[in-house]
A and B are shown apart, each in its own frame.
Chain A
Amino acid sequence: MNPQAIIDGLVAGSMIGLGAIGVTLTYSILRFANFAHGEFVTGGAYLTLVLLTALSAVLGTAPLSPFSVSLALVLAFGGALVLTGGVALTLDAILFRPLRRRGGTIIIIVIASFGASLALRSLIEFVFTATPQYFSRELQIAAPIGGGMRATPDQLLVLAITALLVAAVHLLLTRTDAGRAMRAVAENPALARISGIDVEGVVRLTFMIGGALACAAGVAAGLLVQIRPTMGFDLLLPLFAAAILGGIGSVPGAVLGGLLVGLCEALAAQTVGAEWRAAVSFAVLVAVLALRPRGLFGRR
C-alpha cells in the first residue's frame, strides 16, 4: 500500500467530517435527515467565490505564501461562513418550520428537504453554469512530510482549520449555556421546553452552525479540488455514512466517521479503482447498519 493514501484520505475525510457535523446535529436536534445539507456545502463554496471576486478587485490576488490562499479569500471565507448559516436559517424559516408547526410526520420534512436539495442545486447550476471553477490558479508543490508521504501547504492548512473548527464546536457544545441547551433539546424537546429553554432558538443555532461548517467543507473542497454545482450532492452519501458511523448526535463521532470514510475511500481508490470511490460510503453505511446501527459513539 502506498502511504500517500493516508494523507489523501485524511484531507478528504476532514471535508466529510466538517459536513457531517451539521448532518448529525440536525438529525439529533430536529430529528430528520436533511437531504439539502449537501447544497449548503455547494452554496458555501459559491458564496465564497462571489465574495472573493468582489474582494480581489480591491485587495488583489497575491497569495499568502506558502499557501495559494490570498487575503481576499480569507475574508471572503469569513463572510461566507455567516452567509451560509443565513441561507440554512432562511430555508428553515420558509420550509421546515412551517412543516414542523403543522405537526405532520417527520418524513414529510425529509421529502421537503429532498425537494429543496434539487431546487437549490439546479438554481446554483443556472446562475453559475456547470463549468468547474477555482479559487486560484496558483500551483502548489507537494513537499515530503515524512513516512513516504507528501502534502501541499494547502492540504495541511485544511487539516489545521478542520481541527480548529471541530475543537471550537466541541467546546461550544460542552462548555456553554447555548451548547447545554442544544444537548437538552436533543435529549428531550418537551422537557427542555418546559424547563424554559428557547427551543426555536436552539433550532436556529443548529442551522447556523451546520450551515457555517458546511461552508467550511465546501471551501476546503473548492481549494483542493474544484467548485461544481454537484460537489455537495456528491458528498451527501459520505456525509450520512460518516454521521451514522460516528453515532447520531456525536460531534467527535461525526469527525472521526468522516476521517474513516475518507481513509476507506482513499484505500479503495488505490486497491479497487478510483471509479468505485462513490460506492465506499455505501459499503460503510451497510456495514454500520448491519453490525452496530447506533454507530461508534451513539447512545441507545
Chain B
Amino acid sequence: MDAALLAYLAFFMTMALTYAVMCLGLNVQWGLTGIFNVGVAGFVLAGAYTSAIVTTPPIDGRVGGFGLPIAAGWLAAAIVGAVLSLLVGALTIRLRADYLAISTFGFAVVIHLAALNLEGITGGPFGISFIPRPFGELAGEPLRFNLLNLAVMAGLVAVLYGLLERLARSPWGRVLRAIREDEDAARALGKSAVRFRLQAIALGGAVMGIAGAAGAHFIGFIAPANYLAILTFQVWAMLIVGGSGSNLGAILGAVLVWAIWAASGAAVEAVFPPGAQARAASLQIVLIGVSLCVILLLRPRGLLGSRRVVRRKGNL
C-alpha cells in the first residue's frame, strides 16, 4: 500500500476518533440519561482552549502559556468541561428538558464569543498555535507521525469505552437508565433524579473537554471558527446514526458520518469549480441535516440503538 495513502487513512481515522470521543461524551448525557445538550461545540471548545493555554510555551501579550506536559492539559480540560457543564446543568436541571437545551445552546454561543473577544487569553479570531503535538518531533515523517497519533487516539477511545461500558453496567448506570425510562418509579425507589442527572452531565462534559484537548493537540492549532454550531450538529448526527445509548454505536456512527462528510467534501471539490466550492459546501450541511431528520423518522434507534425496556407514550 502506498505510504501517503496509508498516512492519510491514519489521519482520517484519528480525526474520526476525536469525534468518537465527543460522541461518547454526548452518549453519557443523551443516550444514557436523556439529557439534551445542544452546546457540545461549546464544551469541546472549552476543553481545547484550556489544554492549549496550559501546555503552550509562554508568548508575549497573552496570559497563560504554562508549558506543562500534554497529560496535564488533558486533565485540566476534563475538569473544566465537567465544571462548566455542571454549572449549566444546575441552572436548569429542575426545569423542563428543553430549557436545558436552550441554555446549553446559549452557553455555546457565549463561550464562542468569549474565545473571539478575550484576545489576551485566547488569541482572538486567530486562535492559538504551536500547541505541542504528541510525537511532534516526528512531524517530518507523516506516516510514522500519523500512525503513532492514531495509536494514542485509539488508546484514548478504548480506555474511555471500557470505562463507560463498566459504568453503564454498574449500579450507577442502571439508575441512570431507570431515570431515563421512568423517573417517577426511580424516585419511588429513593434515587435522587437530580443528583444522578447532574453527575451524568458532568461526566459527559468532562469527556467532551478531553475530546477538545485531544483534537487540539493532534492538529496543533485552534481557532474559534472550528467550534461553531455545525460541530454540535455533526456530533448529534453521529450519535443518532450510530444509535444513542450504545457506546459502540457512538464510535461507529462517528467513523461512518465522518467518512460521509469527508467523501462528500471531496466530491464537492471534484465536481464544482474552485469559485463555487464555498457555496457548494453548504449543500454538504443540507445533506447531513436532511439525513438526520430522515433517520429520526425512519429508524429512530439508529444502527445499534439500545432498546427501551419500557415503552412510553407521549401526549398530543
Interface residues of A (CB under 8 A from B): 27, 30-33, 35, 95, 98-100, 102-108, 110-112, 114-123, 125-126, 129-130, 189-190, 199, 233, 236-237, 240-241, 244, 275-276, 278-279, 281-282, 285-286, 289-290, 293
Contacts and interface: CB of A to CB of B under 8 A. Distances in A.
B282 A95 contact: no
A126 B279 contact: yes
Contact of B300 (A104, A190, A276, A279): A104
A115 B300 CA distance: 14
B292 A115 contact: yes
Contacts of A107: 34, 36, 97-98, 101
Contact of B316 (A31, A119, A125, A286): A31
B110 interface: yes
B230 interface: yes
Interface in B92-114: 92, 95, 97-99, 101-103, 105-107, 109-110, 113-114
A113 B284 CA distance: 18
Given A123-B282, A126-B283, A126-B286, 8 more contacts: A99-B296, A105-B34, A111-B236, A236-B105, A237-B105, A276-B117, A290-B91, A293-B95
21 contacts: A30-B316, A35-B101, A35-B105, A98-B297, A99-B297, A106-B314, A107-B36, A111-B236, A115-B289, A119-B285, A119-B289, A122-B282, A122-B285, A123-B286, A189-B315, A189-B316, A233-B229, A244-B99, A278-B109, A282-B109, A285-B106
Contacts of B233: 114-115, 118
Contact of A275 (B116, B278, B279, B316): B116
Given A100-B316, A237-B109, A275-B116, A115 B296 contact: yes
A289 B91 contact: yes
A95 B92 contact: no
B240 interface: yes
Interface residues of B, number: 48
Contacts of B110: 278-279, 282
Interface string B277-316: 0111011111011101100110010000000000011111
A244 B100 CA distance: 12
Contacts of B283: 122, 126
B245 to A, nearest CB: 13
Point out which of A32, A122, A126, A281 has the most chain B C-beta atoms below 10 A from its C-beta.
A122
Interface of B: 34, 36, 38, 91-92, 95, 97-99, 101-103, 105-107, 109-110, 113-114, 116-117, 229-230, 233, 236-237, 240, 278-280, 282-286, 288-290, 292-293, 296-297, 300, 312-316
Contacts of B91: 286, 289-290
Q: From DSSP, what is the main secondary structure of chain A's interface residues?
A: helix
Contacts of A278: 109-110, 113
Contacts of A108: 296, 300
A118 B106 contact: no
Contacts of B38: 35, 114
Closest 9 A-B residue pairs measured CB to CB?
A119-B289, A122-B285, A115-B292, A282-B106, A33-B98, A122-B282, A125-B282, A103-B314, A126-B282
A116 B293 contact: yes
Nearest to A30: B316
A114 B38 CA distance: 9
Given A111-B36, A237-B105, A293-B95, A119 B290 contact: yes
Contacts of A281: 106
Contacts of B296: 99, 108, 111-112, 115
B20 to A, nearest CB: 20
B302 to A, nearest CB: 12
B229 A118 contact: yes
A170 to B, nearest CB: 24
B113 A118 contact: no
Contacts of B98: 27, 32-33, 106-107, 110
A118 to B, nearest CB: 5
Contacts of A103: 313-314
A134 B221 CA distance: 37
Point out which of A31, A190, A279 has the most chain B C-beta atoms below 10 A from its C-beta.
A279
A117 B106 CA distance: 16
Contacts of B280: 126
